[in-house]
Structure 1
């Protein structure tokens, strides 16, 4: 049996059962859940960094799913988070202009 020791999506046990695979799983407490979400976000970023061009969108979708779980773990609704994101974008801008700051006074 292979050991994974990582946070997985909610339907993974169901999918494993459908394929006749045995597994061991436990439900994390909130503290461990947050730690594992942080690890999962780093894992997904590493996967994005090495993904082919065609798989990068899938990896980004995985990252967004983890980010949404982190947002909800902080007691924030996704809609409220989007409002926060939009307000920050309106105040400071986005990244569409591809600007790269070389130097500036502090």
Structure 2
């Protein structure tokens, strides 16, 4: 059986899913520095996948990575949402579809 090397950040249950399929995998737990670096790469990857597919599933993946970045940087999702709400209150959202 051929060996595949991915060298990419994956969701937490992926090794379990691979092994449940009768395959084996090798993985490691990243340092905080490695984790943030690879999260930034994953953010770009998920954005590109959404831009290509325009699917709700890919948009959800992008939000999942954003949540992980927030937590990895030491912020809380509550802080993140507060900043988003404050900015929307001060500058507005994008609902009016305004092109300047």
Q: Would the TM-score normalized by the shorter structure come out above 0.5? A: yes
Structure 2: which 5+ residue stretches go unaligned? none
Cα RMSD between the aligned structures? 0.9
Counterpart of 1:104 in structure 2 is: none
Could you tell me which of 7, 19, 25 is aligned with 1:17? 19
Aligned positions, number? 98
Runs of 4+ that moved beyond 2 A: none
Q: Scaled by the length of structure 2, what TM-score is found?
A: 0.93
Q: How does 1:12-91 map to 2 (within 5 A)?
A: 12-51=14-53, 53=54, 56-91=55-90
Q: Scaled by the length of structure 1, what TM-score is found?
A: 0.88
Structure 1: which 5+ residue stretches go unaligned? 102-106
